[in-house]
A and B are shown apart, each in its own frame.
Chain A
Amino acid sequence: MNKYFGSPLIEYLPALGFLVFTIIYLGLANSYVAVIGGEDDARAFPSGVAWVMLILTLLDLVSRSKTSTGKMLLRVLNPAGQDQGPVRGVKVPPGKQIIAILWIFGFAALMFVIGILFAVPIYAFVSMRFRSKLPFVLAASVTALLTLAIWLLFGAALRINFYQGIFFEF
């Protein structure tokens, strides 16, 4: 893996993510003009915090490098980061982590499109049967019980109207 200033690119990812987010946020914050009170009141807090965030993010970015300045910053500002690697816990390939996050986004998207009562059993069954390779009977039984429990608790007992999805909503 290519290293930049002594650290792999993956090490810089969170700080780079925060940097991009902060720059966009700062740009937006500075565009707000208050309707009530002083003209600057709408941007005073968001803009002030974003500038602080920008400084902190740059410090974080430098502290992740293996340069002498980076090591010094880490020692002074974040000494706990010295004795650990880029990530907490066991090392897992980035692809596996991205897939795990995508499963959640996929489930949320499924709920949004086809509604809760269809999305839950589909997500649960596909997750157990095809992702985790559990036996068909076990996956189907757990899915059925889970769907029933959710319907009983939220639908029957709490009388919550389940969202029906963009295709079935009237």
Chain B
Amino acid sequence: MLDIWLSGFLGLLEPTALTFLVIGMFVGLAFGAIPGLGGTTALALLIPITYGLEPFAALALAGGVMGAVPMGGSITAILLNTPGTAPNAAACLDGYPLAQQGKGGLAIGASASANALGGIIGTISVLLVIPIAREVVLIFGPPEFFLLAVLGLVVVSTTSRGQMLRSLLAGAFGLMLAFVGYSNVSGVERFTFGNTYLWDGIHLVPALIGLFAIAEMIHLSVKGGSVSHDSKNVKVIGMRQGMMETFNHMGTVVRGSLIGTIVGAVPGVGGTVASFMSYSMTMQASKNPDSFGKGNIQGVIAPEAAINAKDGSMLIPTLAFGIPGSAEMAVFLGLLVLHGMQPGPLMLIDHQVEIYGLIWALTASCVMAAFVGLLLVRPLAMVTLLDVKILVPIVVSVAMVGSYAVDLAIENVILTAIMGGIGYMMIRYDYSRLVLVVALVLGPTAERNYFQSMLISDGSWSIFFERIPSLILFVITISLIVYPIMGALLGRRKKQEGSGASGAGS
């Protein structure tokens, strides 16, 4: 096994492969930073270019892109509250408040090192998991996918402490939007009003651009001034301190990376769920959960570690079964086929050197992108000082054109505008956009897998408790609901006992 790992690594050191890795890394960084583009667009645009390349060089290019996109996306997420890619949206929650406090450098330093460490931990996990990949992925069936979707929703809904009602409302609203489109389960078009654009449902990327980028621009234009509240404080300082913060929170990094690795390996769940789940679990584990959303550095580290860790594990279902776990992986699958590599169990036997080369390329790109990203932070941080009168038209224009560019549909622009209006209202009236997004992603997965489970079990709900993996997921879900309630009740009881004792003492 070690000789194959080494062959993959040495193959990457070939000048051609190394050159394409670096090119891919720069492309990924740039595409990640521009809202609406991301890794999927970058890979789709690069596929024709790789046609004349050796398969190893093409995979190095793809690895470079996929490894660097998260770092690019986190820079704009932190500085402008505009996630370059959907999974980076979680970094907005604490990264942007830090930027507003003049600590953009600290947040980006932490994000860069979390990205790199997450990538490395994810790679190690994948290298260990690949030999048993087939067994691991086969464990999951429709009941487990359904419960995983429910678990994702529960985890995120319980994060908004003190805002349960409005979080649940946002989640239900997200689910309602998630059911728009053609249903594979029932063969019916729902809520499309005859519009073919809506057949595929609410397009995620344009919706995210609206909810985050456009909504924030509306908020800024109403508020005036600049992104940073105090221009005197906006100095890109503290990057080294930010990097050290990541090492001070290694538990958060490891937890995030493991969540990213596990969730990434499950097809259809994706990086957005991984990053938000990592954020939520870190918040739940924290001794000071109320500081999240106000600029807690762990709120940046946790999702960023998960995003890069999931990249490696996402390859498992794609390579072993030809099941792409995300849109990015679907495009990547096209690249594999173009170069004569047929994904499936045989791929893990016939193309081991290429696979390990790709994994090394992903890791190298993560680490390089972190360093290059740090070099680019200073000029990018100056953006937060820009007057919103100039910044808003620029960001709105680029975001809207980026939204159109996702799949060359002008309807994307209209969707982005509508979601921007909704996102702004949610900001003003304090509804959680995070819960809405996760519900929007998980809604169709939950519905599809629920009906598949019912079909398998002939309508019996016992299927969700009969199998060990689904039972484990069910128990985790219930625990996540019960634990905070029990904690609150016990805390209240303790408080009452305390006040009773002090009353008796006096």
Which residues of A are in contact with B by a Cβ distance under 8 Å? 13-14, 17-18, 21-22, 25, 28-29, 32-37, 41-42, 45-46, 49-50, 52-53, 56-57, 59-60, 63, 73, 77-81, 84, 86-90, 92, 96-97, 100-101, 103-105, 107-108, 111-112, 116, 120, 123-124, 127-128, 132, 134, 138, 142, 146, 150, 153-154, 158-161, 163
Contact A81 B401 (CB under 8 A): no
Give the shortest distance, in Å, between B30 (CB) and chain A (any CB): 9
Known A-B contacts A14-B429, A36-B186, A134-B389; A79 and B162 likewise in contact (beta carbons under 8 Å): yes
Residues of B contacting A111 with CB < 8 Å? 400, 404, 410, 413
The residue in chain A whose Cβ has the minimal distance to the Cβ of B167 is: A78
1/0 per residue, CB under 8 A from A, across B160-195: the answer is: 111111101100110110010001011110110000
Contact A112 B223 (CB under 8 A): no
Contact B392 A127 (CB under 8 A): yes
Let me know if B23 is at the binding interface, CB within 8 A.
no
Let me know if B504 is at the binding interface, CB within 8 A.
no
Contact B223 A33 (CB under 8 A): no
Q: Which of B4-12, B264-272, B359-367, B419-427 contacts the other chain?
A: B419-427
What's the Cα separation between A81 and B171 when bound, in Å? Answer: 18
What's the Cα separation between A22 and B219 when bound, in Å? Answer: 26
1/0 per residue, CB under 8 A from A, across B367-397: the answer is: 0000000000000000000000110111011
Give the shortest distance, in Å, between B50 (CB) and chain A (any CB): 16
Contact A18 B173 (CB under 8 A): yes
Residues of B contacting A163 with CB < 8 Å? 404, 408, 410
Contact A78 B163 (CB under 8 A): yes
Query: Among B223, B401, B421, B430, which residue has its beta carbon within 8 angstroms of that of A84?
Result: B430
Contact A35 B397 (CB under 8 A): no
Contact B430 A146 (CB under 8 A): no
Contact B176 A53 (CB under 8 A): yes
A-B contact pairs, 20 of them (CB 8 A): A28-B190, A28-B191, A34-B187, A36-B185, A45-B443, A46-B176, A46-B179, A57-B169, A78-B162, A79-B162, A89-B219, A101-B420, A101-B421, A101-B424, A107-B400, A108-B413, A116-B401, A123-B397, A124-B397, A154-B402
Give the shortest distance, in Å, between B155 (CB) and chain A (any CB): 18
The residue in chain A whose Cβ has the minimal distance to the Cβ of B217 is: A104
What's the Cα separation between A128 and B186 when bound, in Å? Answer: 49
Residues of A contacting B417 with CB < 8 Å? 104-105, 107-108
Known A-B contacts A103-B221, A111-B413, A154-B405; A77 and B191 likewise in contact (beta carbons under 8 Å): no
What's the Cα separation between A35 and B189 when bound, in Å? Answer: 10
The residue in chain B whose Cβ has the minimal distance to the Cβ of A97 is: B222
The residue in chain B whose Cβ has the minimal distance to the Cβ of A63 is: B165
1/0 per residue, CB under 8 A from A, across B136-175: the answer is: 0000000000000000000000001111111011001101
What's the Cα separation between A158 and B164 when bound, in Å? Answer: 44
**Other 18 A-B pairs with CB < 8 A, given A123-B397, A134-B390, A158-B41:** A14-B429, A21-B176, A28-B191, A35-B186, A49-B179, A53-B172, A56-B168, A73-B165, A78-B163, A78-B166, A88-B428, A100-B218, A101-B420, A101-B421, A103-B221, A112-B414, A146-B397, A163-B410
Residues of B contacting A32 with CB < 8 Å? 186, 188, 190
Give the shortest distance, in Å, between A10 (CB) and chain B (any CB): 10
What's the Cα separation between A88 and B424 when bound, in Å? Answer: 11
Contact B188 A35 (CB under 8 A): yes
Contact A150 B398 (CB under 8 A): yes
Known A-B contacts A81-B163, A112-B410; A52 and B172 likewise in contact (beta carbons under 8 Å): yes
Which residues 10-68 of B sit at the A interface, judged by CB distance below 8 A?
34, 41, 45
Give the shortest distance, in Å, between B213 (CB) and chain A (any CB): 11
What's the Cα separation between A160 and B421 when bound, in Å? Answer: 27
Residues of A contacting B455 with CB < 8 Å? 37
Let me know if B451 is at the binding interface, CB within 8 A.
yes
Contact B416 A108 (CB under 8 A): yes
Contact B166 A81 (CB under 8 A): yes
Give the shortest distance, in Å, between A132 (CB) and chain B (any CB): 4
Contact A14 B425 (CB under 8 A): yes
Let me know if B214 is at the binding interface, CB within 8 A.
yes
The residue in chain A whose Cβ has the minimal distance to the Cβ of B191 is: A28
What's the Cα separation between A153 and B42 when bound, in Å? Answer: 12
What's the Cα separation between A79 and B290 when bound, in Å? Answer: 13
Give the shortest distance, in Å, between B92 (CB) and chain A (any CB): 15
Query: Among A35, A101, A161, which residue has its beta carbon within 8 angstroms of that of B408?
Result: A161
Residues of B contacting A13 with CB < 8 Å? 429
Give the shortest distance, in Å, between B130 (CB) and chain A (any CB): 34
Contact A42 B394 (CB under 8 A): no
Give the shortest distance, in Å, between A104 (CB) and chain B (any CB): 5
Contact B172 A49 (CB under 8 A): yes
Contact A45 B429 (CB under 8 A): no
The residue in chain A whose Cβ has the minimal distance to the Cβ of B427 is: A88
Which residues 416-457 of B sit at the A interface, judged by CB distance below 8 A?
416-417, 420-421, 424-425, 427-431, 443, 446-447, 450-451, 455
The residue in chain B whose Cβ has the minimal distance to the Cβ of A161 is: B408
Give the shortest distance, in Å, between A159 (CB) and chain B (any CB): 8
What's the Cα separation between A17 and B421 when bound, in Å? Answer: 13
Contact B394 A80 (CB under 8 A): no
Give the shortest distance, in Å, between B437 (CB) and chain A (any CB): 16
Contact B183 A42 (CB under 8 A): yes
Known A-B contacts A18-B169, A57-B169; A100 and B221 likewise in contact (beta carbons under 8 Å): yes
Residues of B contacting A104 with CB < 8 Å? 214, 217-218, 396, 417, 420-421
Residues of B contacting A56 with CB < 8 Å? 165, 168-169, 172
Residues of A contacting B168 with CB < 8 Å? 56
